[in-house]
Structure 1
Amino acid sequence: MKLSYRTIKHLILWTPTITIGLWEYLRHTVLLPYVSMDLGNLLAPVIVFLVTVTLLRKLFAKLEATQEELQRERMLKAALEEREQLARELHDGISQSLFLLSVKLDKLDRTDCSEAAREVSAGIRETIRRVYDDVRQSIANLRTLPAPGDFSWMASVEALGGEVTDAGIRFECEGRLPDRLLTSKEKVELLAIVREAVLNARKHANARTIRVAMEPSEGGGFRCEIADDGVGLGESDLKAFDRYGIRMMRSRAEEMGWRLEIRSAPGGGTTVTVEKEDRAARDDSPRTRLAFHERRKGGSRA
């Protein structure tokens, strides 16, 4: 039976008082011929102590667990409200502005202008269309990505695979990452990277098959690979400034301290690899060893 926060507080407050009352009642009505007054006074604090270390400890543990659950619910609600507000601002601001620009370009095309101006107008319209699609996808991601709470990682990947399959693309999932391996934030960030890589393959690469392979490592790390058989990208395209999806994936991976590698070639598909090194590897990495030696030098100078 799950107790409410108020009930647990009342039990903590009233349990010692009720314990003393019951003890005094039993002592005077039943135990008085067998227990002397001095012995009864000595046993009273002992009984309260025993009740405290048994029942009250469990109640305090339940109280802490209830407080943590309430805190998680407040954080979840705040995250959902923040996402909904951001999605609304994107829809009411950028989306409507892009639509207005498209309408003005249509008016421009109906005016007498040179062929070169029409070509520039067509290029601007295509750019607006792509940005509009990206904004719409960002809004959808904000409303579908899990909030920073406990959720099933594999269920989220399977749901993403269902979206891809519905679009007529073959989706393959190999291996699995147990939920206990990832923190709530790691689940959200890794799922965002996987979703972005899958959507890029679906929207821009004309891929027929998308494969997501994942495996844990012994030291608490993992490796996740998203591969497609699409048209691929050249080296210059991977580094282009307007590749916002790639920049977003790199930024998320860098923030989490993960290694992200993108391998692609025209006509050869694209492979995105996200890897979190295990603790032993991180502790023995060149950067870690250099930082250790710097600390030792600092300590020697001091």
Structure 2
Amino acid sequence: MNPQVFGGGWPVAERREERFEFETLISDLSSRFINRTPDEVDSEIEDALRLICELVGIDYAVLWQWSGTPLAVITPTHFYYAQEGFQPHEPLRQELFPWCRQQMLAGRMVVISSLEELPAEAAVDRENGRLLGIKSNLTIPLAVGGEPPVGALSLNTLLAERGWTDALVMRLQLVAQVFTNALARRRHDQNLQESEARLAAGAELAGLAFYEVDFAEKATYVDDRLRQLCGIPPERERGLDALEFWMEHLHPDDRERMLDERRELHDGRMERLSIEYRYLHPAQGEKWIQHLAGVTRRDASGRAVYTYGVLRDVTERKQVENEMRDLSRRLIRAQEDERALLARELHDDVTQRLAVLAIEVGRIELSTLGATQAEAMQAVREGLTRLSEDVHSLAYQLHPSVLEELGLAEALRAECERRLRQGWLDLSANIEPLTTVVGKDAALCLFRLAQEALNNVARHAGTCAASVTLREMDGGLLLAVRDDGIGFDPEHPRARMQLGLVGMRERVLLAHGTLDIESAPSRGTTIVAWVPAAGEAR
């Protein structure tokens, strides 16, 4: 695509298509970083940077990261070059762009269509930009909330100057936010891994957030760190009072789960306890705690007599995870809103205009005396009719109105019938009537999941036979899509399938549900999803 006119200058239909493609890509990219280990984040960022630059038309992109305390050094860590010749011969250093560095520290974007737009105090940046061949630049600071920045994303053109429309800048800021959350989470996870190693050593030495409970003597020992972490007052440290105080302040939604696992440890059904739960600190409010525990002595019946444990506050990590989920939820909803807008525009505008054209061509056909001209007009009219039907079908795929009007069951039946009419799949549908009220998010989640699963059957399964099942189960809805095709290894899906499967998992997770994928080479594939019927996306 031509980068000079992305987001402006295209015909209306093409702008809609590009906008939809961009929103879809952002939604997919945000899902990539869910449940990634710190070691996997770098390769995902490199690939995501390439996809975005290829879509928008960026010649040269650099992701910089801050290091040191205070923020002393900003180092380029990820690159994208549209051509090998664009790669600079000398390594990039922060001294080359002192003015831009100050803008990033201050949390300000740099948006220039030409190096001549740089202020006088950016003379060093301007000269080094010329040496690198930069024509235009957009640099976005990477920061989470009010925290210090984690880095910067620099997007450049080298072949020609370009303008940066407000719409494009806003979309690229979303991309920067995805990278920011991924980098911030990686840092938190790396810090947590290092801290867990220190925590294990401290536990062995009875040093860090440590406790011991002697049930025979009815005595509890807690160290200073645990006393502060749980907010245990001095008057509650006698006997088993500290243990009872901790139980009293477990979050009501997590108490039963925590105490069940504790009973399994004490009864000997579990060798080691490892769990995360919420705790209501009397002064500091809700905290997330990681709890590791074991038993050093049991009685003749196997019941725990002497136990120990180590606690750690993981509230910050949980907050980052929740921010990532919230970003994914907002992006998915933005994508659905964009689809609904495009569907309305196609249905209410484009199809109506095609219908008018078909009527006009029909009139010309009737008024044409020559047989040859009449046949030509008939062919044009039939082509317009087919095109109108195709546009109507596309609008339905983008946003099926039947889902809102008649509900999930009827929408799935209509989707199966539509695909049967297309002749690509031999579908059997077992869709039971639903007796419970289905929430909007739950219905949309299962409908999109069914669409993606059937798309995968058509594209990858190597079979025409598939089935769709929907029924109520355990206070929720169970959806199953099966085929008898070539199958695959769920641990190593084909590249073209991977994004779709990640999107499925993210949608189901946001709807508080579960997703199971059962497949093996030459044994077909079954995708089973369960979501609570009335649950709204978190």
Task: Determine if the TM-score, normalized by the shorter chain, exceeds 0.5.
Answer: no
Give 1 or 2 for the bigger CA radius of gyration. 1
Q: TM-score with structure 2 length normalisation?
A: 0.26
Q: Which has the higher helix share?
A: 1
Q: Which has the higher strand share?
A: 2
Q: TM-score with structure 1 length normalisation?
A: 0.44
Higher relative contact order (Cα pairs below 8 Å, separated by 6+ residues): 1
